[in-house]
Amino acid sequence: MLEKPIGHDLESARRINDEVGGVFAEEQIYRIDHYLGKETVQNLLALRFANSLFEPLWNSGHIDHVQITVAETVGVESRGGYYDTSGALRDMVQNHLMQLVCLVGMEPPVSLDKEAVRDEKIKVLRSLSPIGIENISTTTVRGQYRAGAVGGTAVRGYLEEEGIGSDSLTETFVALKAEVQNWRWSGVPFYLRTGKRMQEKVSEIVIQFRPIPHSIFPREAGETAPNRLVVRLQPDEAIGLHLIAKEPGPGGMRLREVPLNLSFAQTFKNRFPDAYERLLMDVVRGNPTLFMRRDEVEAAWIWVERILDAWASRSERPKPYIAGTSGPSQAIALIERDGRTWHDDPAFLA
Ligand code: BG6
């Protein structure tokens, strides 16, 4: 069993894979990405492939864009030595966020068989449109937190953390605009962001559907915001579908966005196993479906390394953001330039 990080770049990942592969056969190697063990992440498979409702709409004809946010309130804690050589892109995007992109973006596998699922995931990784020096400034934002307050408690800035050099250029936040270039997703941006010392801990996937083609309602009825499917991975695992409904009562047609919520805690009274618990049981049972195959790890590095190289060639300082906020303003500009906004509505899935 190997826990991430598997390498620091493509070359070191290949070296590790070669060394381990020299002793064990690929099917004996379990590369853990603990996000794949999270209940709601596995539920993405159920949502997409055990319901007939969504799959016909799951494409560029009906989806405007996808957002994936993994925000944390913690800082680097006692892991400064590791984190400062890593940064948010290596620590979170290369593995966890890319696995989420794969599960949202992949074609239906023929079965839940280990190779069937992983074969589909890797096709998504290979379809990611490259981000390099030519488009780095319009598709990525790096941030680094400054002193601030999280949940009412004052916290230090990244550069004051233990084990961090006072001139460190390591990013603690990253926002990206990725594109999966294939028939299903052509023209549908996947906006990704992750950061430490953010306002609240929340991981969610937002599928934003296209607006209605024509409104029959008068302007006074209110806006018909496009439908949105929100999969909240943590905390309070839930799936929410934002619909437009008429507000009850007289006074004409007043439209309002309302949630159709599925709270996992309220619906299922079962204990939620920890992600590692599930993954360790899978190792014992010999089921590698939820583990990363060698080619997946390397394909993810190929995409990420280009971004790292482009950043290195510019040696720009990461954009500062105050701890306890939602990241640097440039990340808001990244999505707003396209006429879209980040979904920041924590109260929605109560
Ligand atoms: C780890 C990262 O893989 O995931 C950490 O190395 C991060 O930096 C953690 O804090 C987040 O995991 P979770 O399950 O709390 O979202």
What pLDDT score was predicted for residue 345?
60
DSSP 318: P
* Residue 19 falls inside a structural domain: yes
What pLDDT score was predicted for residue 272?
83
With the most atoms of ligand 1 within 8 angstroms of its CB, the residue from 72, 100, 232 to mutate is 72
* Residue 133 falls inside a structural domain: yes
Could you give the CA distance from residue 195 to residue 146 in angstroms, rounded to a whole number? 13
Structure-block tokens of residue 168: 């460190």
Q: Is 343 a catalytic residue?
A: no
Instruction: Report the atom number in ligand 1 closest to the C-alpha of 96.
Output: 3
Q: Is 195 exposed, middle or buried (0-12, 13-18, 19+ CB in 10 A)?
A: buried
Q: How far is the CA of 150 from the centre of ligand 1 (A)?
A: 18
**Per-residue pLDDT reduced to its tens digit, 329-344:** 999 999 999 999 999 8
What pLDDT score was predicted for residue 217?
94
Give 102's contacts (C-beta < 8 A, 6+ positions apart).
120, 121, 122, 124, 125, 296
Closest listed residue to residue 101, CA positions, set 66, 54, 142, 50: 66
Q: Whose alpha carbon is nearest atom 9 of ligand 1?
A: 92
* Residue 262 falls inside a structural domain: no
3-state secondary structure of 77: coil
What pLDDT score was predicted for residue 250?
87
Give 141's contacts (C-beta < 8 A, 6+ positions apart).
173, 174, 175, 176, 319, 327, 328, 330, 331, 334
3-state secondary structure of 183: coil
Say yes or no: CB of residue 204 within 6 Å of ligand 1: no
Cut 0.75: pTM above it? yes
Q: How far is the CA of 177 from the centre of ligand 1 (A)?
A: 21
Q: How far is the CA of 212 from the centre of ligand 1 (A)?
A: 38
**Per-residue pLDDT reduced to its tens digit, 91-121:** 999 999 999 999 999 999 999 998 999 999 9
* Residue 263 falls inside a structural domain: no
Could you give the CA distance from residue 132 to residue 140 in angstroms, rounded to a whole number? 10
Structure-block tokens of residue 85: 């050589």
Structure-block tokens of residue 93: 């995007």
* Residue 329 falls inside a structural domain: yes
Q: How many helices (H) and strands (E) does the chain have?
A: 11, 13
Q: How far is the CA of 250 from the centre of ligand 1 (A)?
A: 50
pLDDT over 80 (residue 350): no
Closest listed residue to residue 71, CA positions, set 332, 243, 325: 325
Say yes or no: CB of residue 91 within 6 Å of ligand 1: yes
Q: Whose alpha carbon is nearest atom 2 of ligand 1?
A: 91
Closest listed residue to residue 239, CA positions, set 61, 99, 46: 46
DSSP 172: S
* Residue 163 falls inside a structural domain: yes
Instruction: Report the atom number in ligand 1 closest to the C-alpha of 95.
Output: 3
Q: Whose alpha carbon is nearest atom 5 of ligand 1?
A: 91
Domain count, the chain: 1
**Torsions phi, psi for 336 (to 5 deg):** -70, -25
Q: Whose alpha carbon is nearest atom 15 of ligand 1?
A: 72
CATH number at residue 166: 3.30.360.10
Could you give the CA distance from residue 65 to residue 224 in angstroms, rounded to a whole number? 17
* Residue 343 falls inside a structural domain: no
**Per-residue pLDDT reduced to its tens digit, 125-169:** 999 999 999 999 999 999 999 999 999 999 999 999 999 999 999
Could you give the CA distance from residue 88 to residue 62 in angstroms, rounded to a whole number? 31
pLDDT over 50 (residue 348): no
Could you give the CA distance from residue 69 to residue 157 in angstroms, rounded to a whole number? 22
Which of the following is catalytic: 65, 96, 242, 343? 96
Could you give the CA distance from residue 274 to residue 279 in angstroms, rounded to a whole number? 9
Q: How far is the CA of 34 from the centre of ligand 1 (A)?
A: 8
pLDDT over 70 (residue 346): no
Could you give the CA distance from residue 190 to residue 178 in angstroms, rounded to a whole number? 5
Instruction: Report the atom number in ligand 1 closest to the C-alpha of 233.
Output: 16
List the alpha helices (DSSP H) in the chain.
Answer: 10-21, 39-49, 80-83, 88, 98-105, 114-127, 136-139, 264-267, 275-285, 294-314, 329-336
3-state secondary structure of 165: coil
pLDDT over 80 (residue 198): yes
Q: Specify the amino acid at residue 85.
A: T
**Per-residue pLDDT reduced to its tens digit, 216-273:** 999 999 988 999 999 999 998 999 999 999 999 888 899 999 999 999 999 998 888 8
Q: How far is the CA of 103 from the centre of ligand 1 (A)?
A: 19
Which domain range does residue 182 map to?
2-207+277-336
Instruction: Report the atom number in ligand 1 closest to the C-alpha of 275.
Output: 14
* Residue 214 falls inside a structural domain: no
Instruction: Report the atom number in ligand 1 closest to the C-alpha of 35.
Output: 14
Say yes or no: CB of residue 305 within 6 Å of ligand 1: no
